[in-house]
Structure 1
Amino acid sequence: MYNRYKQNIGILTPGENKKLKNLKICVIGCGGLGGYIIDMLSRLGVGYITCVDGDFFEESNLNRQLYCNEKNLGLNKAKCVKEKVKQINSSIYINAIDKFLEENNSINILRNHDLIIDAIDNIKGRFIIQDTCKILKTPIIHGAISGWYGQVTTILPGDDSLNYIYKNKENEIKNNLGNPSFTPAHVASIQVSESIKLLFNKGEILSGKILLVDLLYNDQNIISINKNN
């Protein structure tokens, strides 16, 4: 299997590359962000990936969701992702959960993972992830997209970063900017690289900071999450 992963060497040592197979990562959402995230994790060789989504592919997903195609419209996203990922890397385990993450099932779904990746599209769900991971002491990589724009932050155990990003967690933000194919791919790649940095203690992670991406004007800014405001 060396040839499969030889291009990992350089950003990872051979020893770190072997440790990938022992990692357990849970991705919440298998759509725009989630599909790309799961694809990248499986190609890297992460040994255990839980993918969670109670939604079904529909025609409007075809423009951006990696695993959506004309033949699987109407089928559950998590189950479809599992079948496709098995074709990419049969040596890893995919745990497909065809349910939405909710308060009454979040502990059971999120427990026993090294990392949780937030790839959902609603604020309420993000707070369920944060509140549950605070109990479980599990880090989160948060990502969100809208039109040309995206954001990524790393939430370490006990941190409440989402409280300062979404100060009114009861109000959903209506997306009037659309979502093309390239924004989720770009933001997902940042989330995956942030995951690798966090898990292998490399570089600088976005803890206490948020990366704001503007693809329209080729602008990226990192700002501190001001918890005093």
Structure 2
Amino acid sequence: MEQLNKFLNERAKGTLISWQHQAEAARRYGITVHQTERAILEMGLLPARYQRNSGTVPPEGQLVLHRSRVTVIGCGGLGGYVVEQLARAGVGTIVAVDPDVFEEHNLNRQLLSSIDALGASKAAAAAQRVAAINPAVTVVPEQVAFCPDNARELIAASSVAVDALDNVQGRLELADACNSLEVPLVHGAIAGWYGQVATQLPGEATLRLIYSSWTSGAGVERELGNPSFTPAAVASLQAAEVCKLLLGSGRPLTGRKLVIDLLHMDMDQFTVPT
């Protein structure tokens, strides 16, 4: 460790360590890039990729993000964007959960989809994408459908879970599991021009209250579909909320539901009844 620290200190420009030297340190000392990044941050230095974060997230906050683990349930329209944004922000470990493979109708809106990826696992694509943009982030791909039986395995070790599902029943099961495991949940849903975001902290019944009138069947997204821009907008809000929770910054979106109307460019919030 002493030799690694000496190597990094000698190559720092101010407080910044370039990607070239980060990768070289990993090779030279036989450790992962993830481990090298932790060493850099623990020294009070900053990987150069995060220099534009520093006005918002100080170096000690960047270390908090690096040490964090987030589970994203669903790697499609919402989840693909959430995974990418968390990886670019520097969240150290992301569990990417999705049982599906890419189909042609995903190409209009899902960031991780491509013609070459048709038929490929969405969870595996999340890992491949992050490896290409930020190899210091560890992605754990899980090509399984979330259910109450595997909730502990997928969520219990995480600081936050993200709801990027496309069905109400799954969201409610996820919300209940997060409560049972005492893991905060950042919910997102999209349909056509519209979307919503909310945060459920342990002990709250936010999702059950939001969907209190639902009895069965598909949500409105099956009728309205989803264009390319709605998942990107809502996922950005979810990613911001996740980072706030991890950093303990700002005011979390608890006890409230944020509703986004991109057709009329309106954004409103509603109190979730208790």
* Bucket of the pairwise TM-score, normalised by the shorter protein: over 0.9
Check whether the contact 2:64–2:246 (CA below 8 A) recurs between aligned residues. Answer: no
Q: Secondary structure at the match of 1:8?
A: coil
Check whether the contact 1:78–1:96 (CA below 8 A) recurs between aligned residues. Answer: yes
Map 1:118-157; keep pairs closer than 5 Å: 118-157=163-202
Aligned match of 1:95: 140
Partners in 2 of 1:196 and 1:84 — Cα distance? 20
Q: Deviations over 1:118-169 (max 9, x none)?
A: 0010111111111111111000000000000000000000111111111125
Aligned match of 1:16: 61
Aligned match of 2:231: 184
Q: Deviations over 1:9-45 (max 9, x none)?
A: 1111111112211000000000000000000011111
In the alignment, residue 26 of structure 1 is paired with which amino acid?
Answer: T
Check whether the contact 2:186–2:200 (CA below 8 A) recurs between aligned residues. Answer: yes
CA spacing shift, 1:45–1:197, aligned 2, 3 Å: same
Q: Secondary structure at the match of 1:7?
A: coil
Aligned match of 2:252: 205
In the alignment, residue 246 of structure 2 is paired with which amino acid?
Answer: L
In the alignment, residue 29 of structure 1 is paired with which amino acid?
Answer: G
- Identity of aligned pairs, percent? 41
Partners in 2 of 1:4 and 1:125 — Cα distance? 36
Asked if 1:115 is matched to 2:134, the reply is no
Picking from 203, 211, 222, the partner of 2:269 is 222
CA spacing shift, 1:35–1:216, aligned 2, 3 Å: same
Give the structure with the larger helix fraction. Answer: 2
Asked if 1:170 is matched to 2:216, the reply is yes
TM-score by length of 1: 0.96
Aligned match of 2:109: 64
Give the alignment's Cα RMSD to 1 decimal: 1.1
Check whether the contact 2:189–2:197 (CA below 8 A) recurs between aligned residues. Answer: yes
> In terms of Rg, which structure is larger?
2
Aligned match of 1:6: 51
Q: Secondary structure at the match of 2:79?
A: helix
Q: Which moved more, 1:45-54 or 1:123-132?
A: 123-132
Q: Secondary structure at the match of 1:116?
A: strand
TM-score by length of 2: 0.81
Aligned length, in residue pairs: 227
Check whether the contact 1:141–1:191 (CA below 8 A) recurs between aligned residues. Answer: yes
Q: Secondary structure at the match of 1:71?
A: helix
CA shift, 1:72, in A, is 1.0
Q: Secondary structure at the match of 1:105?
A: helix
